[in-house]
Chains A and B, each alone.
Chain A
Amino acid sequence: MKQKKLSEKELAHLFELGKLELAEGEADEYATQLGEILDYVGQLSNLELDGIEETNQVTGLVNVFDEDKIREGLDHGEVMSQVPVKKDGYVMVRAVLGGGDE
């Protein structure tokens, strides 16, 4: 797991996964810093951990159920007041399918 610096291709892929834009001139700084961080945390990959359980959470709670009852939700108008682009009381989003301009 030794790696001092991320490759340009790896970096571009990771930024895409995170839906982030890599600004021009920043690639080298990120590649070096992220390489160092991953190198440091990568020390764990060499440990022999067969048979050790994983800890995902510490509460020990399993299957927390809610009573089946109706609760009042948030005020629609207040929630919608934060939406940057809206139309007829709906949230406008970019097209997910198709090749339109919107």
Chain B
Amino acid sequence: MSRTIVETRKELVDGTKSVTEVVSESLKIIKDKEKLNAFITLAEDEALVRATWLEKNGDRSLPLFGVPVALKDMYLTKGIRTTAGAKLLEEYVPPYSASVVEKLEEAGAVIVGKTNQDAWAHGASGENSDFGPSLNPSNEEYVPGGSSSGSAVAVAAGMVPLAMGTDTGGSIRQPANFVGVVGFKPSYGRVSRYGVIAMASSLDSMGHFTNSVEDAALVLGVTAGADERDATTRAARNYEFEGFSKKGLEGVRVGIAKEYVEAIADEEIKENFEKVKSKLERLGAILVDVALPHTKEAIAVYYILQPAEVSSNLARFDGVRYGKGRDSFGKEAKRRIVVGSYTLSSGYYDAYYRQALKVRTLVRQDFERAFERVDALVTPVSPTTAFKLGEKTSDPLAMYMADVLTVPVNLAGLPAIAIPSGKTKGGLPMGVQVIGRYMDEERMLPISYELESELI
């Protein structure tokens, strides 16, 4: 059912299918599965016009020639409504597109629509969307995770082979894990954030959902690199992707952190993770026990720094130049603005914000020490599988804890990828996370590819 980008491209280049056929199929599946509420805005007409244009004028050697792509509604799209999942931007039509959107289009991709998400990317379930929650395709009584909920669903349900997301504290990896697809968060500063609505600017990372690690690498080859419009990317290399070949993991040192294993709150995930470890050994990897002692503090650090940055970034929404007024903010945005205002205010700044900046250093040092001894870390993605709709909506703090194993990576800016590793007896997806060194996707993606081949 779910085809990869590589497979989709092959059909297009062979001429087995036309771009219009591929795009129409994608649009049809989106409509057939409308109930999953994966999209906020469909760009049907634009997509079909572009498909015809590509068919006539497009360069078939482009890496994403004719590939339908869905964008989380954080990515600005010139002329196509962009809401951030929030009523405040319900009628906002951007006058320009994000750098990543331009790069995808230059690479031949066809944008089919904008996906549902927790409003402003605040959430771990998709339920904070002002446009209603998306549903988990594995079981519609369950959440697909968040905040990039619709993008995760769009790939999992076979609507598109590629969907872009944003990952500030796990918003790509956690939903990928809940719906059973690959979710990749590149290093901070490797992919331009220009034109993507800012959540927490020292943490935001632009990544994507795909059906394979190979596809994830292929897309990074398009999105990565320096952009003069985002100063944090100035040192970013392009990512040169020429395909993977299976070599095994002979002699590769893989770190296993006990703090992450201990956080697993589900017997089936625990068993599954043990199986992943033996598969790594079967591939020839050397498992090394490492300590990441500040894992527990990381979530507290995150829920100080992130709301502080949110309160600053959301200050621009004044309803004067675009969008509606601040009375349109939903409850979660208000909570975060208020928490951020609190921890940044005089009298509390030292006890909260400054302390968090210092513990962020400790979290980074934990990883640096671990990477002196290993090539990659392999961990669970979330303590639990997907939870039921409504289960955590009245308890914000419980919802925050869903990010406990993804957040430390953002604090350190590292690249990480979630890969499906099986299903529970009840049919819910499980996955593992591979974490690499800063700006070293060149090393961590091939390791992830080897591991994936053993998990399928």
Q: Are B235 and A61 in contact (CB under 8 A)?
A: yes
Q: Are A47 and B93 in contact (CB under 8 A)?
A: no
- Known contacts: A53-B358, A58-B188, A58-B438. The answer to whether A36 contacts B321 by CB under 8 A is no
Q: Are A18 and B300 in contact (CB under 8 A)?
A: no
Chain A residues positioned under 8 Å from B351 (CB to CB): 1, 42, 45
In whole angstroms, how far apart are the Cα atoms of A29 and B235 in the complex?
A: 45
- Known contacts: A34-B335, A59-B189, A78-B95. The answer to whether A14 contacts B361 by CB under 8 A is no
Q: For the complex, is B244 an interface residue (Cβ under 8 Å from A)?
A: no
Q: For the complex, is A95 an interface residue (Cβ under 8 Å from B)?
A: no
Give the secondary structure class of B's interface: helix
Chain B residues positioned under 8 Å from A42 (CB to CB): 351-352
Chain B residues positioned under 8 Å from A97 (CB to CB): none
Chain A residues positioned under 8 Å from B189 (CB to CB): 58-59, 61
Q: For the complex, is B338 an interface residue (Cβ under 8 Å from A)?
A: yes
Q: For the complex, is B337 an interface residue (Cβ under 8 Å from A)?
A: yes
Segment at the interface with A among B165-173, B280-288, B341-349, B444-452: B341-349
Q: For the complex, is B1 an interface residue (Cβ under 8 Å from A)?
A: no
Q: For the complex, is B35 an interface residue (Cβ under 8 Å from A)?
A: no
In whole angstroms, how far apart are the Cα atoms of A19 and B341 in the complex?
A: 10
Chain A residues positioned under 8 Å from B326 (CB to CB): 19-21
Question: In the complex, which residue of chain B has the Cβ closest to the Cβ of A15?
Answer: B338
Question: In the complex, which residue of chain A has the Cβ closest to the Cβ of B327?
Answer: A21
Contact check: which of A11, A17, A40, A60 meets B300 at CB < 8 Å? A40
Chain A residues positioned under 8 Å from B337 (CB to CB): 18, 20
Q: Are B357 and A54 in contact (CB under 8 A)?
A: yes
- Known contacts: A17-B345, A54-B357, A58-B202. The answer to whether A44 contacts B300 by CB under 8 A is yes
Total interface residues on B, CB under 8 Å, equals 58
Q: Are B311 and A18 in contact (CB under 8 A)?
A: yes
Question: In the complex, which residue of chain A has the Cβ closest to the Cβ of B230?
Answer: A64
Q: Are A54 and B358 in contact (CB under 8 A)?
A: yes
Chain B residues positioned under 8 Å from A81 (CB to CB): 93, 95
Q: Are A79 and B95 in contact (CB under 8 A)?
A: yes
Chain B residues positioned under 8 Å from A56 (CB to CB): 202, 357
> Which residues on B are within 8 Å of A, measured CB to CB?
92-93, 95-96, 188-189, 202, 228, 231-232, 234-235, 297, 300-301, 303-304, 311, 315, 318-324, 326-327, 329, 334-335, 337-343, 345, 351-352, 354-362, 364, 396-397, 400, 411-413, 438
Contacts beyond the supplied A41-B343, A84-B320: 15 A-B pairs with Cβ under 8 Å: A14-B338, A14-B342, A18-B311, A36-B397, A40-B397, A41-B300, A42-B351, A44-B297, A44-B359, A59-B232, A61-B232, A83-B320, A85-B320, A91-B321, A93-B320
> Which residues on A are within 8 Å of B, measured CB to CB?
1, 11, 14-15, 17-21, 30, 33-34, 36-38, 40-45, 47, 49, 52-61, 64, 66, 74-75, 78-79, 81-85, 91-93
Q: Report 10 cross-chain contacts, Cβ distance below 8 Å, ordered by A residue.
A: A30-B335, A33-B396, A36-B397, A40-B303, A41-B303, A42-B351, A49-B358, A58-B412, A61-B232, A84-B324
